[in-house]
Structures are given as structure tokens and as C-alpha cells.
């Protein structure tokens, strides 16, 4: 599964019912802002919500099920796009110079 991290200006089209913005098209930033607003209107601390969504993240420690002990880092909210079709694999056997070599 390939993931595409969207930039703030990338546009997402979806059902209005599924969108935080209640619009069928929104930029990734609009979606994140609407999600932040939704979370801020809950009982959560606004500073905590902003820290999760500002791209910098929240300091944390993680221990994975596969082992390796505790690792320090950050967690953050991010909007990703996962294409329905897998990326076309690059044919590593082909070189742009092959045509030239064949003509020599």
C-alpha cells in the first residue's frame, strides 16, 4: 500500500457526509482546520489539540509489538491519500540509453 502525504494546498473530493468541512471538495489544510475545530469544541484542551495537528507533533514514547524497546519521538495528525491502484513499478531493466546503444 502506497501512501501519499498531502500538502496543505492539495484538493480532496469526497462525499459531503464524510467531510469535516461539509463540502464535497476541500484542501487538505481545510480538512485539518475543520478537524482541529471539531476537536477544540470537545472537552479537550485546545493546546493539546493544536499540538497534535500543527505538524510538529506531541512528544511521546512508543513500544512496538515487534519489539525493540521504547523509542522516543512525536505523534501527530496527518492527512494521507492512499491510491486505489498500486503505483506502476519502474522497470529497472530499461535504460534511456538502450535506444542509442541499439542504433550504434
SS3 21: coil
Cell 546503444 found at: 101
Task: Give one DSSP letter per residue of 37-62, joined into a string.
Answer: HHHHTTTS-HHHHHHHHSSS-EEEEE
Rounded Cα gap, residues 65 and 42, in angstroms: 31
pTM of the model: 0.55
Cell numbers linked to 66:
515487534
Kindly report, residue by residue over 55-99, the tens digit of the pLDDT: 777 787 877 788 888 888 887 777 778 888 766 666 667 777 777
Rounded Cα gap, residues 42 and 57, in angstroms: 19
Amino acid at each position: 500500500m502506497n501512501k501519499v502525504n498531502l500538502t496543505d494546498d492539495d484538493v480532496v473530493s469526497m462525499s459531503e457526509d464524510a467531510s469535516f468541512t461539509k463540502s464535497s471538495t476541500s484542501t487538505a489544510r481545510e480538512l485539518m482546520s475543520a478537524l482541529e475545530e471539531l476537536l477544540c469544541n470537545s472537552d479537550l484542551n485546545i493546546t493539546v489539540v493544536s499540538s497534535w495537528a500543527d505538524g510538529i507533533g506531541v512528544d511521546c514514547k512508543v513500544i512496538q509489538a515487534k519489539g525493540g524497546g521504547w523509542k522516543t519521538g512525536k505523534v501527530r495528525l496527518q492527512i494521507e491519500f492512499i491510491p486505489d491502484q498500486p503505483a506502476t513499478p519502474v522497470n529497472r531493466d530499461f535504460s534511456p540509453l538502450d535506444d542509442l546503444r541499439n542504433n550504434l
